[in-house]
Amino acid sequence: MGHADQNKKAGNGEPNSNAAVQPEGATRCSDQSSDVKVKTVTCSLTGMAPLFTPIKIGGLQLSHRIIMAPLTRCRASPNNVPNTKLSGEYYAQRTTKGGLIVSEATNINPQSVGHFCAPGIWTPEQVDAWKGIVSAIHAKGGFIFLQLWHVGRGSHSAYQPDGRPPVGPSPIAIKGQTSLPDGTEAPFEVPRELTVEEIAALLDDYRKATNNAFLAGFDGVEVHGANGYLIDQFLHDGSNQRTDKYGGSIENRARLLFEVVEAVQKVWIDAAGAGTPKAANVALRLSPFGKYQDMSDTHEAELYGYVIPNLNRFNLAYLHVVEPRVSAGPDAIAVVNNLGKTFSGPLISAGGYRPDDANQTVMDGCKSNPPRAVAVAFGRLFISNPDLPLRIFLRTDLHNYDRSTFYTHEAVGYTDQPFLKDGEIADHIKELREAQPDNEKLQAAIDGEIQMLKVQV
Ligand SMILES: Cc1cc2nc3c(=O)[nH]c(=O)nc-3n(C[C@H](O)[C@H](O)[C@H](O)COP(=O)(O)O)c2cc1C
């Protein structure tokens, strides 16, 4: 696969700004003399392509904007304890100095589980196991947020500690089949409706899980409000037909989301110490117009038109948006773009990105009025390219992913993915240098960038 292949997006991508190092005279992320601040965020010119400009996320200064997306890989034990050695190696392989990883979705309590061998964060044993993984990332100068997860009606009685049906906002089942712990498939079940008392207990479990994430050493937490899981099920009227204060109006359906974010943020700030940089590291993931797990709403644009601007009061580290590029048409994409502008903090955009359109998205953010601080999360390409930021920087081939190993429980397809070889790296650095022979500043920037990205290898 040649260089051009880096930029073929799954779906409808058009190749765009091509160089990892921005060529002289090309449009740049912003003007050095007039760095623009959007709240806590500076979007500055370093002479590098947009993805390789630094960005401030919460209390963290990131060295580049290639984020590792949350990726469930089911390599924990059957009782949801992460495998410190195996997953420590997997995450460390994908760590760059000053880069951000969002962990795989992690269950907050036993009831929240719906995937065999997914990790949890509710027992001391799980916290200890995570500590080893987090320290492997920190040892290489990287950062990791934990994604807090409750699957709601996406579970099955076979996963439930009391053997009862899974919980959800309303007794409406997902259509289709799910995988059970014994490897067989079964239809999703009709969930039982969470009571208001149970919702209060659920908020407590989010609090405990958040505190545990802090104890495990995570740099921050991301609330999973996307992809048809519990919080998303409450948001959408296709899955939420309650008549109490958690159902009916958009405000009521968004209540659980805001209560979770508020509860998580309070615990995190108390643990980190109000006013410290780390206290700012609470984030949220949403998937407007996503259809996964039967999400539907009669007024989707209005739903997110209420939710997104109302998040501003939390001063989140970032809002992570799974773009509806695959699941919805151009109207939805335009709506989500516009809604992104109503959020005052940094945005992380995810969904089907290839390097060129990722660079373009970051650049569009910087050039918009007012400028937006944008980073891009890569999922599947990070599975199959452990050194993805270095590959993007050097404009090398990207290795294809193999779906059949996404959720298996072993090292194959997990820690055995190929790194660039030293000789290949040297050749590509030479090519980059030769493209800019007279630009000393850029030559120095290349050296600095390679130092940061090469900790992966
Ligand atoms: C194997 C796999 C596991 C995933 N697990 C999660 C997860 O735990 N939490 C989450 O929010 N999204 C999850 N996603 C969605 C990804 O984070 C990402 O949004 C999606 O793959 C689109 O990005 P991509 O085209 O770069 O892969 C998963 C996707 C894949 C392929």
- Does 369 reside within a domain? no
What pLDDT does 10 receive? 26
Q: Which residues contact 229 (CB under 8 A, 6 or more apart)?
A: 105, 149, 150, 151, 152, 154, 293
What pLDDT does 371 receive? 85
- Beta bridge partner(s), residue 224: 285
41 lines ligand 1 (CB under 6 A): no
Q: What would the mean pLDDT of 138-156 be, rounded to a whole number?
A: 98
Amino acid letter, 226: A
Q: Please tell me the distance between residue 69's alpha carbon and the centre of ligand 1 in angstroms.
A: 6
pLDDT tens, position by position, 182-222:
999 999 999 999 999 999 999 999 999 999 999 999 999 99
Q: Which of 8, 9, 71 maximizes ligand 1 atoms within 8 Å of its Cβ, making it the mutation to test the pocket?
A: 71
What pLDDT does 449 receive? 83
Is-contact 11 333, C-beta < 8 A? no
285 lines ligand 1 (CB under 6 A): yes
Q: Please tell me the distance between residue 378's alpha carbon and the centre of ligand 1 in angstroms.
A: 8
pLDDT tens, position by position, 388-408:
999 999 989 999 999 999 999
> In this structure, which residue's CA is closest to atom 21 in ligand 1?
379
- Does 251 reside within a domain? yes
350 lines ligand 1 (CB under 6 A): yes
> In this structure, which residue's CA is closest to atom 11 in ligand 1?
70
Q: Please tell me the distance between residue 180's alpha carbon and the centre of ligand 1 in angstroms.
A: 20
**Which of the residues are catalytic?**
229
CA 128 – CA 241 distance, rounded (Å): 40
Instruction: Tell which residue, 42, 260, 66, 73, has the closest CA to residue 150.
Output: 260
Q: List, as one string, the DSSP characters of 1-23.
A: --GGGGG--SSS-------SBPP
- Does 370 reside within a domain? no
CB neighbourhood size of 413 (10 A): 18
Provide the phi-psi class of 75: left if phi over 0, else alpha when psi is between -120 and 50, else beta. Answer: alpha
351 lines ligand 1 (CB under 6 A): yes
- Does 364 reside within a domain? no
CA 17 – CA 361 distance, rounded (Å): 10
> In this structure, which residue's CA is closest to atom 31 in ligand 1?
380
- Does 363 reside within a domain? no
CA 97 – CA 63 distance, rounded (Å): 7
What pLDDT does 48 receive? 66
What pLDDT does 175 receive? 97
Q: Which of 72, 232, 398 maximizes ligand 1 atoms within 8 Å of its Cβ, making it the mutation to test the pocket?
A: 72
- Does 21 reside within a domain? yes
Q: What would the mean pLDDT of 372-386 be, rounded to a whole number?
A: 96
Is-contact 129 84, C-beta < 8 A? yes
What pLDDT does 348 receive? 97
pLDDT tens, position by position, 50-85:
999 999 999 999 999 999 999 999 999 999 999 999
Q: Is the pLDDT of residue 274 over 60?
A: yes
In angstroms, how far is the first alpha carbon of the chain from the final one?
21
Q: Is the pLDDT of residue 233 over 50?
A: yes
352 lines ligand 1 (CB under 6 A): yes
CATH number (domain holding residue 350): 3.20.20.70
CA 329 to chain centre: 22
Q: Which residues contact 161 (CB under 8 A, 6 or more apart)?
A: 110, 111
What pLDDT does 432 receive? 82
What pLDDT does 335 receive? 87
CA 102 – CA 82 distance, rounded (Å): 15
Whether the ω angle into residue 370 lies within 30 degrees of 0, i.e. cis, is: yes
Q: Please tell me the distance between residue 77's alpha carbon and the centre of ligand 1 in angstroms.
A: 21
In this prediction, what percent of the chain has a pLDDT beyond 70?
88
CA 82 to chain centre: 19
Strands 347-350 and 66-68 come out as: unpaired
> In this structure, which residue's CA is closest to atom 28 in ligand 1?
71
225 lines ligand 1 (CB under 6 A): no
pLDDT tens, position by position, 293-303:
999 999 999 99
CA 126 – CA 140 distance, rounded (Å): 22
pLDDT tens, position by position, 322-351:
998 767 777 888 888 888 889 999 999 999
Q: Helices marked H in 311-421 — which ranges?
A: 330-340, 355-367, 380-384, 388-394
Distances (CA, A) of 205 to 109, 201, 220, 226, 357: 6, 6, 17, 19, 39
Q: Please tell me the distance between residue 301's alpha carbon and the centre of ligand 1 in angstroms.
A: 23
- Does 174 reside within a domain? yes
Is-contact 255 245, C-beta < 8 A? yes
Domain ranges, residue 96: 3-325+334-354+376-456
Which atom of ligand 1 is least distant from the CA of 224? 11
Q: What would the mean pLDDT of 227-251 be, rounded to a whole number?
A: 98
Domain count, the chain: 1
What's the whole-number average pLDDT of the chain?
88
DSSP 196: H
Q: Please tell me the distance between residue 377's alpha carbon and the centre of ligand 1 in angstroms.
A: 9
- Does 424 reside within a domain? yes
Largest Cα span, the chain: 69
Q: What would the mean pLDDT of 101-115 be, rounded to a whole number?
A: 98
pLDDT tens, position by position, 13-26:
222 222 333 332 23
71 lines ligand 1 (CB under 6 A): yes
Q: Please tell me the distance between residue 226's alpha carbon and the centre of ligand 1 in angstroms.
A: 10
135 lines ligand 1 (CB under 6 A): no
